[in-house]
Amino acid sequence: MTTLPIAANPLQPLIDAFDWVLVGFHDTVGLSWGMSIIALTVVVRTLLIPLTLKQFKSMQSLQRLAPEIKALQEKYKDDKQRQQQEMMKFYQENKVNPFGSCLPLVLQMPVFFSLFYMLRKDLKIDICGPEAVIAAKAHEVGKTITTIGCQEVKPGSATFGFIPDLTFHATGGVLIVLLILYVGSQLLSSVLMSVTADRNQRFIMIALPFVFVPFIQSFPAGLLVYWITTNLWTVGQQYLIRRSAGMPVRGAPATAGAPAGAAAAVAEPKPKPEKRGKKDKDAPAAAENGKGKGKESAAVTPRGTPPPPPRQRKKKKTGRRR
């Protein structure tokens, strides 16, 4: 009976490439393993900058079309199927991608999974290897090479800051701090990236961090370091792009990037009508008799306010009978 060969990991080329980069940062540059993971994150996000700028233009289009999208949703609010059809037709006609804010996250998934597998074995061998030593220690404690951490093999070899072992899942207070940093940074980046007018899509983007929490608790701590770093990069990158493009950051007055007429309406308040006293009420009558002409008449009537109709003078009764 012949045995079928075990299928190779399709992400192995990426795993080998990222492992080579991390080892280079550690051995050649002299960074710690934790800082090497952060440096790898910076490299990946730098390579994605052209695509990020392209997606940002799509986000600007969504912001510009937000009133029309809202009107379309209101028009077909009683027919959800028709609403979705009209929305997709509207997006195609205006050449915008409503899921543009999700693309950076989707493109980073291969990096995320590659780093996950790398921390479970390949990078673990680089940090506390060789593989035979790790396998022997794992056999002693009833574990495998993928389920044992470097702290049990070579204590202190995978420490980074308050994290005792980058290759093993965090526990206790370390896990709580990492989860708070992850959820906070993910929420902030989601708020900046989600500019679509669809409430359901915004809700999904905000809910994702809480959905991932039960799963990432068992991930190696180094993977959370990567995720938190990429979230903070997204926050800083979006802030700089918005500032350079003249777009308002969420929470700021929406005057930047608005049409000229709208900006002028916001900047210049409407003139308030002035209260008229007794002298002002008699001004039209004086103008009729030729006494309120020239500068005096112009001073009485506020700029942009039409003058009131002239008052007719009543004839005085003399008491004589005809």
- Alpha-carbon torsion, ordered 223, 227, 232, 234, to 10 deg: 140
Angstrom distance (rounded) from CA 135 to CA 254: 59
Task: Report in angstroms the alpha-carbon separations of 183 from 8, 186, 212.
Answer: 34, 5, 9
pLDDT at 42 over 90: yes
Per the document, the length of the chain is 322
User: Residue 117, SS3?
Assistant: helix
Angstrom distance (rounded) from CA 136 to CA 132: 6
Q: What is the pTM of this model?
A: 0.66
Angstrom distance (rounded) from CA 168 to CA 225: 12
Percentage with pLDDT > 70 across the chain:
68
Task: Tell me the average pLDDT across 243-252.
Answer: 57
Q: What is the pLDDT of residues 161-213, one digit of tens each?
A: 999 999 999 999 999 999 999 999 988 887 776 554 456 767 777 888 888 89
Q: What is the pLDDT of residues 92-140, one digit of tens each?
A: 888 777 666 566 667 778 888 999 999 999 999 999 989 999 999 999 9
Mean pLDDT of the chain: 76
Task: Report in angstroms the alpha-carbon separations of 280 from 287, 292, 296, 300.
Answer: 11, 11, 11, 7
Asked if omega into 130 is within 30° of 0 (cis), the reply is yes
